[in-house]
Amino acid sequence: MLKALALALAALGLSVLPAAAGAKLPVSTVSPLGPETSVPFGWVDFCQRYGGECDEATRAPQTIELTAATLRKIEGVNALVNNKIEPVSDAEHAGAPDAWDYPADGKGDCEDYALLKRRVLVEAGFPRAALLLTVVKDAHGDGHAVLMARTDRGDFILDNLADEVKPWNKTSYRFVKRQSQENQNVWVAVGAPTSAPMYVAK
């Protein structure tokens, strides 16, 4: 797995950080789920352009076994992608209020970071069903997208606004919805009901 991760990161001009010896593993909780909900337009549009990555096959839920080495790899991908991509709004970059895409030119906003981290981790052997695009609101009620990693020690968040990978309930966000583990094209509510933001753009 480490070799696959190194190759995936090398293709992006990134490098692998060494695993910390004797690192204490954090523990999170599992985010509470609600009913199925609306699918973000940005995801629908992304799937029209990347159909092969949006198959509708139903799969069994999976979690990541969180070892010290695995956590370090996840943290490395989060921090390295954060520092590799230049933050640019969709309006400026794509001429649209909310455009989900891979930051192929080294520029993008929150959902672009999340998509790239997901792709790199999947290519490194992590289960896609445990890496879920997630919509949240910040303290001002503005929309934001992060990547949720479901592990055997709870749910953790990869965020382009923070290099630290945190338990979902240790962030300052109000969680709105995320992809279903069984089908990535189905989205489910997270936590107490709240209106979805029109755009995610951080």
Whether the per-residue pLDDT at 79 is higher than 90: the answer is: yes
- 31-52 mean pLDDT: 92
Q: Which residue has the higher pLDDT, 1 or 135?
A: 135
Give tens-digit pLDDT for 132-155.
999 999 989 999 999 999 999 999
User: For the domain that residue 80 is a member of, what is the CATH number?
Assistant: 3.10.620.30
Predicted confidence band of residue 65 (pLDDT cuts 50, 70, 90)? very high
- Partnered with residue 179 across adjacent β-strands are 187
Q: How many domains does the chain have?
A: 1
Dihedral sign, Cα of residue 54, residue 178, residue 145, residue 11: negative
The set of residues, in sequence order, having a beta carbon less than 8 Å from that of 72 and lying 6+ positions away, is 17, 18, 19, 20, 23
Give tens-digit pLDDT for 101-134.
999 999 999 999 999 999 999 999 999 999 999 9
Q: In this structure, is residue 8 part of a structural domain?
A: no
Q: In this structure, is residue 199 part of a structural domain?
A: no
- 188-199 mean pLDDT: 81
In angstroms, the CA 128 to CA 59 distance is 10
Q: In this structure, is residue 200 part of a structural domain?
A: no
pLDDT at 142: 92
Pairing of strands 162-167, 154-159: antiparallel
Q: In this structure, is residue 21 part of a structural domain?
A: no
Give the residue numbers spanning the domain of 178: 28-190
Whether the per-residue pLDDT at 94 is higher than 90: the answer is: no
pLDDT at 1: 37
Predicted confidence band of residue 72 (pLDDT cuts 50, 70, 90)? very high
Q: In this structure, is residue 22 part of a structural domain?
A: no
* Tokens 């990555």 found at: 53
Q: In this structure, is residue 170 part of a structural domain?
A: yes
pLDDT at 6: 56
Q: In this structure, is residue 92 part of a structural domain?
A: yes
CA distances from 108 to 69, 81, 132, 194 (A): 29, 11, 19, 27
Pairing of strands 107-108, 86-87: parallel
pLDDT at 117: 97
Whether the per-residue pLDDT at 15 is higher than 70: the answer is: no
The set of residues, in sequence order, having a beta carbon less than 8 Å from that of 180 and lying 6+ positions away, is 36, 132, 186, 187, 188
Q: In this structure, is residue 201 part of a structural domain?
A: no
Give tens-digit pLDDT for 157-190.
999 999 999 999 999 999 999 999 999 999 999 9
Percentage with pLDDT > 90 across the chain: 67
